[in-house]
A and B are shown apart, each in its own frame.
Chain A
């Protein structure tokens, strides 16, 4: 099993969710985060006090998938989250050792 972590632009969330559901992947965890890569921030001005804001709002999606599905999932995420502009985000893949479904006790791939 692999953990796919994708940091994407917030308005792309619905498209990405929809693309992953089409692959019969059930479930994901979503967090609101701030970050930057190459995308520059902006300047805010409050009555004479200027603030350079580097961190931009992003959405982080975490989904655990069977190893066989990783490439399809990555392709789906990349296709649906892409705008072509700087700041589209990144996808990270890391290994998962063990999974348990809390309600039934099913383990590993049966729990996904």
Chain B
């Protein structure tokens, strides 16, 4: 959300301040009575959270599992499932705290440990939404965000499929979420909330001449209490940068550091079960409604916009991929359709709360050919083994979506416009949109994610490689990770 510097409006508002904008004293204080959560929004967020869980298990597990060879099916499932379980615990131990609290001197980049082990959180504490005065239980918010923290690292597994040791994977995941995911989530999504913004703005507006400086610095402190990307004004509704570009670039880095699978390019390794893959893709689409619509945190009219955007952008991208493949390869494939579905979902993720419906369709049509190019021609030309196209779909799709968000949010193009919580404290009004400013903010967010995750992931991969080794031995890789890592066969027939 982009916010306006109140200084521009202070003069006009100060004149009105004494009358229409008299503050309810409770809001101006920091210790207000605990608000009651909104039941409708809470019920919706439970549902959305469960849908995001469905995306990971079995959605992503089946999607990835179907694409690898029979001897590694269980390995994909285990790696996704175990990542989910590990990160869920790390999230409540310290991840939520690092992502969504104030980090003091480091607050631009990461939070602190004030809510480690969920200290201070109980069934009565609440989390803000994007509307003034509307809250959901903090536990629900924690679990919702937890599912995001769980699926993001799981996405990386596709790039390094069939050649990452289970033990190395666990260690890598623990380090990766700690140093990459939690900070990036903080940078993009951490802010004080609409009510903090409103209070500070009201206090400033109604400040008299001698308290003005104090109110101004209090206001500045509230505006400054946010992640760096948030402060840049970069828009990312449901995680195009935090989830997809992040996991995508980490996947590429992993694929490069681990190297190609044995026999890649020489031996045949087609997907062992496109049936499982299609089921996984369908579950991903269904679950993604929880991912995108739930990111609005409320079941209100804006949720409806996110909902429809998520549907049509995906449909457009699926058809687009299918048509591109039909023309270039001669036949539309099932895997192509599924890939288009995922690419469309990835691209609409940052844009879903901001774009108009027709804009979403255009985004879907545009993202598939570009991702298709990366997954086929560019991958073959450069020769890297991004096994399940995590970079080609999630990183590239995420970049396109994140940049397109800066354009599609334009109200003249049907977009939702920028939210302004300070011009009329207590309400959200439409802020001013400037295409150049917004696009610069989007570029900065994309670049920051690529650099932090790209470099950070490389360091962590290398570290784990040196200490315990990332790849299994050649014989173990040949035999299959199901047997060598887990002592089981997926299929007995």
User: Which positions in A face B, CB cutoff 8 Å?
Assistant: 44-49, 51, 53
Q: Are B268 and A47 in contact (CB under 8 A)?
A: no
Ranked 6 nearest A-B pairs via Cβ: A48-B376, A51-B268, A48-B375, A47-B335, A46-B270, A45-B329
Q: Are A48 and B333 in contact (CB under 8 A)?
A: no
Residue B119 is within 8 A (CB to CB) of chain A in the complex:
no
Q: Are A47 and B270 in contact (CB under 8 A)?
A: no
Residue B336 is within 8 A (CB to CB) of chain A in the complex:
yes
Residue B339 is within 8 A (CB to CB) of chain A in the complex:
yes
CB distance from A51 to the nearest CB of B (A): 5
The residue on A at minimum CB distance from B380 is: A48
Q: State the interface size on chain B (CB cutoff 8 A).
A: 16
Q: Tell me, in angstroms, the Cα distance from A45 to B375 when the chains sit together.
A: 12
Q: Which residues of B contact A47 (CB under 8 A)?
A: 333, 335-336, 339, 375-376, 389
Of the candidates A46, A47, A49, A53, the one having the most CB atoms from chain B within 10 angstroms of its own CB is A47
Residue B424 is within 8 A (CB to CB) of chain A in the complex:
no
User: Which positions in B face A, CB cutoff 8 Å?
Assistant: 268, 270-271, 329, 331, 333, 335-336, 339, 372, 375-377, 379-380, 389
Q: Are B376 and A46 in contact (CB under 8 A)?
A: no
Q: Which residues of B contact A45 (CB under 8 A)?
A: 329, 331, 333
Q: Is the interface of B mostly helix, strand, loop or mixed?
A: helix
Q: Tell me, in angstroms, the Cα distance from A45 to B332 when the chains sit together.
A: 10
Q: Are A46 and B335 in contact (CB under 8 A)?
A: yes
Q: Are B377 and A48 in contact (CB under 8 A)?
A: yes
Beyond contacts A45-B331, A51-B270, A53-B268: 7 other A-B pairs, Cβ-Cβ < 8 A, are: A46-B270, A47-B336, A47-B389, A48-B376, A48-B377, A48-B379, A48-B380
Q: Tell me, in angstroms, the Cα distance from A45 to B325 when the chains sit together.
A: 10
The residue on A at minimum CB distance from B333 is: A45
- Identify which of B270, B372, B380, B389 contacts A44 (C-beta below 8 A): B270
The residue on B at minimum CB distance from A44 is: B270
Q: Which residues of A contact B329 (CB under 8 A)?
A: 45
Q: Which residues of A contact B377 (CB under 8 A)?
A: 48
CB distance from A12 to the nearest CB of B (A): 24
Q: Tell me, in angstroms, the Cα distance from A53 to B268 when the chains sit together.
A: 9
Q: Which residues of A contact B379 (CB under 8 A)?
A: 48
CB distance from B346 to the nearest CB of A (A): 15
Q: Are A46 and B375 in contact (CB under 8 A)?
A: no
CB distance from B277 to the nearest CB of A (A): 10
Q: Tell me, in angstroms, the Cα distance from A84 to B389 when the chains sit together.
A: 44
Q: Which residues of B contact A53 (CB under 8 A)?
A: 268
Q: Which residues of A contact B271 (CB under 8 A)?
A: 46
25 intermolecular pairs with C-beta atoms under 8 Å apart = A44-B270, A45-B329, A45-B331, A45-B333, A46-B270, A46-B271, A46-B333, A46-B335, A47-B333, A47-B335, A47-B336, A47-B339, A47-B375, A47-B376, A47-B389, A48-B372, A48-B375, A48-B376, A48-B377, A48-B379, A48-B380, A49-B270, A51-B268, A51-B270, A53-B268
